[in-house]
Chain A
């Protein structure tokens, strides 16, 4: 275990050392480049028109899960339609079912010592 810990430390040292060198190179190049870009260059443009900063974002619901939900819809649609009814007794049925499965699994694995 200590071998792995030492390797993690070595990898981290190497990672940050090379990151520092590249960052130094970036800052040096930046200092030599033309400075202070201004005006139109700093504004957001989309489709050829200036775009307000407040609108230049996307709802978080569309950011991460929208694509997954769309792609995997055929897989979870049936369970969702049949199981996710919103009826309280259905919800209770699922809870009891999963709790029973959990206890059966626990018993099969030898129970709690």
Chain B
């Protein structure tokens, strides 16, 4: 039931591919792309000098922060904050192992069993919440009014975007489960989501859910127009005000990993992952990369093009407009009398 190869493979997947080592490379390249695109939209050139075209700038910034002095304020959480942040990083790595990113390695080894189980979408949603909790608690564990207000704003926004993100992610999963006899599994939904674009009804619902998911992810990443918890003009840097050195490096690592994992899940669940080129492997990887970069580009362009909302405006936007739209899309997706004839 549980052969020896499975634990060894789990360790390899966690530490190398698609886990820590691979994710670190991807997030550094993603960060370079985000910085370049963001700079271009502001009529700047972006990273230029470290490595070819500034490719190594995010790595240089990360290493610089990691080896700086770690200041632990009197009355603040010191190692506890680091533990919280590392657990949040771990939760996102665990989430990556539930996606089809593990497939190439397992296919290479001749193993066709991947990590998936019925109703594991609940586990995926749970793992997605960890980074938010870690960031909010990091703010609340810091003895500074700005940090505490920032942490409280993170918690306040949670009830806006986490609900929307959960409803949006459930929409394609529910559609796939109804149409193809699936079992609310993240892996199965990721593998079959391209079929949702073949019928106008499911394509319309997927498009709506994609739109709300992108808004939810933008808010989860605390990017403009939802960077309310770290509004510089009001509360300095919000939950991150008192953090510098390696703790700030961990916070930035967590943010970049969240961007990577969130965008990868959106690419798999809403855009069909590597579809329509599943073979050969390089074609699948290239197609996935193009779609992934498209998601990153949309998020970056929103960030560059708009100004910050007030906290009440953001909550109002989500609860008055985005949440009802996401809910209607989900209800129409699970209305089996309507969906069943499409099979």
Please give, as numbers and ranges, the residues of chain A lying within 8 Å of B146 by CB-CB distance: 46
> Which size bracket describes the interface of A in this complex?
35 or more
CB closest chain-B residue, reference A34: B69
A16–chain B nearest beta-carbon distance, Å: 6
**A19 with B74: CB separation less than 8 A:** no
**A63 with B148: CB separation less than 8 A:** yes
Please give, as numbers and ranges, the residues of chain B lying within 8 Å of A13 by CB-CB distance: 10, 14
Distance, CA A113 to CA B38, complexed state (A)? 63
**A44 with B144: CB separation less than 8 A:** yes
Please give, as numbers and ranges, the residues of chain B lying within 8 Å of A7 by CB-CB distance: 98, 115-117, 120, 123
Q: Mark interface residues in B280-309 (1 if CB within 8 Å of A CB, else 0).
A: 000000000000000000000000000000
Q: Tell me, yes or no, whether B68 is within 8 Å of chain A by CB.
A: yes
Q: Mark interface residues in A20-48 (1 if CB within 8 Å of B CB, else 0).
A: 11110110011011110100011110100
**A14 with B14: CB separation less than 8 A:** yes
CB closest chain-A residue, reference B75: A53
Q: Tell me, yes or no, whether A4 is within 8 Å of chain B by CB.
A: yes
Q: Tell me, yes or no, whether A12 is within 8 Å of chain B by CB.
A: yes
Q: Tell me, yes or no, whether A89 is within 8 Å of chain B by CB.
A: no
Please give, as numbers and ranges, the residues of chain B lying within 8 Å of A105 by CB-CB distance: none
Distance, CA A22 to CA B93, complexed state (A)? 11
> Which size bracket describes the interface of B in this complex?
35 or more
**B152 with A62: CB separation less than 8 A:** yes
Q: Tell me, yes or no, whether A81 is within 8 Å of chain B by CB.
A: no
**B118 with A67: CB separation less than 8 A:** no
Distance, CA A63 to CA B148, complexed state (A)? 8
**A23 with B312: CB separation less than 8 A:** no
Please give, as numbers and ranges, the residues of chain B lying within 8 Å of A41 by CB-CB distance: 71
CB closest chain-A residue, reference B130: A15
Please give, as numbers and ranges, the residues of chain B lying within 8 Å of A51 by CB-CB distance: 144-145
Distance, CA A70 to CA B312, complexed state (A)? 8
Distance, CA A25 to CA B316, complexed state (A)? 41
Name A73-96 residues within 8 Å CB distance of B.
Answer: none
Among A11, A53, A70, the residue within 8 A (CB) of B94 is A11
**B70 with A71: CB separation less than 8 A:** no
Among B75, B90, B119, B253, the residue within 8 A (CB) of A15 is B90
CB closest chain-A residue, reference B318: A71
Distance, CA A15 to CA B156, complexed state (A)? 26
Partner-binding segment picked from B80-88, B166-174, B194-202, B331-339: B80-88
Distance, CA A8 to CA B90, complexed state (A)? 14
Please give, as numbers and ranges, the residues of chain B lying within 8 Å of A63 by CB-CB distance: 140, 148, 151-152, 155
Distance, CA A72 to CA B20, complexed state (A)? 41
Name B103-126 residues within 8 Å CB distance of A.
Answer: 115-120, 123
If the complex has contacts A23-B83, A43-B74, A53-B143, are A67 and B156 also in contact, measured as CB distance less than 8 A? yes
Distance, CA A42 to CA B13, complexed state (A)? 40
A37–chain B nearest beta-carbon distance, Å: 5
Q: Give the 10 A-B CB pairs with smallest separation, nearest first.
A: A19-B90, A3-B117, A15-B90, A18-B93, A15-B94, A67-B156, A7-B117, A29-B66, A18-B90, A14-B94
Please give 5 more A-B residue pairs, beta carbons under 8 A apart, in addition to A57-B145, A64-B156, A67-B312: A7-B123, A18-B89, A22-B90, A29-B67, A34-B68
A residues apposed to B, CB below 8 Å: 3-4, 6-8, 10-23, 25-26, 29-30, 32-35, 37, 41-44, 46, 51, 53, 56-58, 62-64, 67-68, 70-72
Sample (27) of A-B pairs whose CB atoms are under 8 Å apart: A4-B118, A4-B119, A7-B98, A7-B116, A7-B120, A11-B95, A12-B94, A15-B127, A17-B15, A17-B90, A18-B14, A18-B89, A19-B86, A22-B86, A23-B86, A26-B86, A26-B247, A29-B66, A30-B246, A34-B68, A34-B69, A37-B69, A44-B144, A56-B148, A57-B143, A68-B156, A71-B319
B residues apposed to A, CB below 8 Å: 2, 10-11, 13-15, 19-20, 66-75, 82-83, 86-87, 89-91, 93-95, 97-98, 115-120, 123, 127, 140, 143-146, 148-149, 151-153, 155-156, 159, 245-247, 249-250, 253, 311-312, 315-316, 319
